């Protein structure tokens, strides 16, 4: 757990770790030059598992995280934030999963983000994929990491072998690491249970623009490697599903470029990962829902983008099922029913 001026929520975070059902761990806490009461709060806990390290000066989160990797004694590292909360079986569930699935090197969990308004906590559920190939698809097609950083438990030696965290990233160091790890063949997964509460608060606001910028830069580097074509930060920003808006898209050419990049990424993905027939429809719906954001742009009509999206998804289905025509037609029917049912229902209810 890296700590910097975290006194407000630090006690709750520490206690959520100490109260885990899995007891056999080293709790390495590195204070990165805090000027508040953080160190005193840490020292107030009388638990032999806590190992406090104090940086002589503030060296930044990425360097502190690498320091933690170097100092940690265990085979696995669970990375914890100073203001988040582990549910009581978080470590136990992950240890069991990793022991049963030794091919997985980076393991997350489902989590609930929450914001406190007075005495009330408002939660939002985040469910992430379990299948390693689907985790890879999230990075190739969506441009997003498939594991939550506060939830992660990873194989220390494997992450250390690829260089750990990039110290040139101040906030989005996790995004860059996971994309680099994927390109090295490292496999990801998530325990399909809610095991972490991720706290949202106003102090995160000042970092959001930097995080966005760093995420786009890391994604640009990733896509450049995958597609073998130079992708800049503006192009990678448009690539992400949450950026399908009128600020990022000004010209129709940018829509065509977006779709072409997605096609190239899927083709490259298919060269490395095989999508089982049982999941092709699921991937098609994921593609459809992601690209539907293009239909909200002012520079293109919704009907035009719906048609483009449909063609994209049918081409994907055709490519994945090219040797099984009967199954292909069945998937077409299923896709149209699932994708268009919300539209049909709205028309019917008018």
- Give me the residue spans of the domains in the chain: 2-211, 244-349
Residue 307 pLDDT: 84
Contact between 21 and 60 under an 8 Å Cβ cutoff? The reply is: no
Give the pLDDT of residue 28. Answer: 98
- Which residue has tokens 């742009």? 297
Closest among 87, 134, 94 to 112, alpha carbons compared: 87
- Provide φ and ψ at 195, rounded to 5°: -125, 0
CATH number of the structural domain 2-211:
3.90.550.10
Q: What is the pLDDT of residue 206?
A: 43
pLDDT the model gives residue 318: 80
Measured in Å, how far apart are the chain's first and last C-alpha atoms? 54
Model pLDDT, residue 4: 96
Could you tell me the two tokens for 75? 């085979």
**Tokens representing residue 329 in the block:** 């037609």
**Residue 348: predicted pLDDT:** 45
Q: What is the pLDDT of residue 225?
A: 96
Structure tokens at 129: 């994929």
Q: What are the residue ranges of helices labelled H in 122-172?
A: 132-137, 156-161
Distance CA 107, CA 102 (A): 11
Contact yes or no for 211/230 (Cβ under 8 A) = no
Distance CA 20, CA 74 (A): 17
Q: Which residues contact 223 (CB under 8 A, 6 or more apart)?
A: 143, 231, 235, 236, 239, 261, 265
- What pLDDT does residue 205 have? 44
**Which pLDDT score, from 0 to 100, does residue 292 have?**
85
Non-local CB neighbours of 73 within 8 Å, separated by 6+ positions: 26
Q: 333: how many CB neighbours lie within 10 A of its CB?
A: 9
Query: Residue 147 has which token pair?
Result: 């594991």
**Nearest residue to 296 (alpha-carbon basis) of 344, 236, 350, 248:** 248
Q: How many CB atoms lie within 10 A of CB 193?
A: 16
Q: pLDDT tens per residue, the chain (350 residues)?
A: 999 999 999 999 999 999 999 999 999 999 999 999 999 999 999 999 999 999 999 999 999 999 999 999 999 999 999 999 999 999 999 999 999 999 999 999 999 998 877 666 778 999 999 999 999 999 999 999 999 999 999 999 999 999 999 999 999 999 999 999 999 999 999 999 999 999 987 655 445 889 999 999 999 999 999 999 999 999 999 999 888 888 999 999 999 999 999 999 999 999 999 888 888 888 988 998 888 888 888 898 888 888 888 888 888 888 887 766 667 666 777 777 666 666 545 544 54
């Amino acid at each position: 757990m890296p700590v910097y001026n975290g006194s407000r929520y630090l006690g709750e975070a520490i206690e959520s770790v100490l109260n885990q059902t899995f007891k056999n761990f080293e709790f390495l806490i590195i204070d990165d030059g805090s000027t508040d009461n953080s160190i005193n709060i840490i020292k107030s806990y009388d638990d032999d598992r806590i190992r406090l390290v104090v940086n002589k000066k503030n060296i930044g989160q990425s360097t502190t995280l690498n320091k933690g990797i170097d100092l940690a004694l265990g085979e696995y590292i669970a990375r914890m934030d100073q203001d988040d909360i582990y549910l009581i079986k978080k470590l136990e569930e992950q240890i069991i999963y990793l022991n049963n699935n030794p091919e997985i090197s980076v393991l997350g969990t489902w989590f609930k983000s929450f914001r406190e308004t007075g005495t009330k906590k408002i939660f939002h559920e985040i469910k992430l994929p379990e299948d390693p190939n689907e985790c890879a698809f999230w990075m190739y097609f969506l441009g997003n990491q498939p594991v939550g950083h506060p939830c992660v438990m990873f194989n220390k030696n494997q992450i250390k072998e690829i260089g750990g965290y990039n110290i040139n990233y101040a906030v989005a160091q996790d995004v860059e690491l996971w994309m680099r790890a994927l390109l090295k063949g490292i496999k990801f997964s998530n325990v399909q249970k809610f095991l972490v509460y991720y706290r949202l608060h106003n102090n995160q606001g000042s970092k959001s623009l930097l995080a966005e910028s760093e995420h786009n830069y890391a994604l640009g580097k990733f896509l450049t490697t995958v597609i073998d074509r130079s992708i800049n930060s503006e192009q990678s920003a448009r690539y992400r599903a949450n950026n399908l808006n009128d600020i990022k898209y000004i010209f129709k050419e940018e829509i065509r470029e977006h779709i072409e990049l997605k096609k190239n990424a899927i083709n490259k993905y298919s060269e490395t990962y095989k999508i089982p027939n049982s999941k092709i429809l699921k991937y098609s719906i994921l593609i459809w829902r992601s690209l539907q954001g293009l239909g909200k742009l002012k520079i293109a009509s919704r009907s035009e983008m719906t048609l483009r999206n449909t063609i994209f998804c049918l081409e994907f289905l055709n490519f994945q099922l090219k040797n099984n025509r009967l199954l292909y037609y069945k998937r077409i029917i299923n896709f149209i029913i699932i994708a268009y049912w919300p539209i049909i229902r709205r028309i019917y209810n008018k």
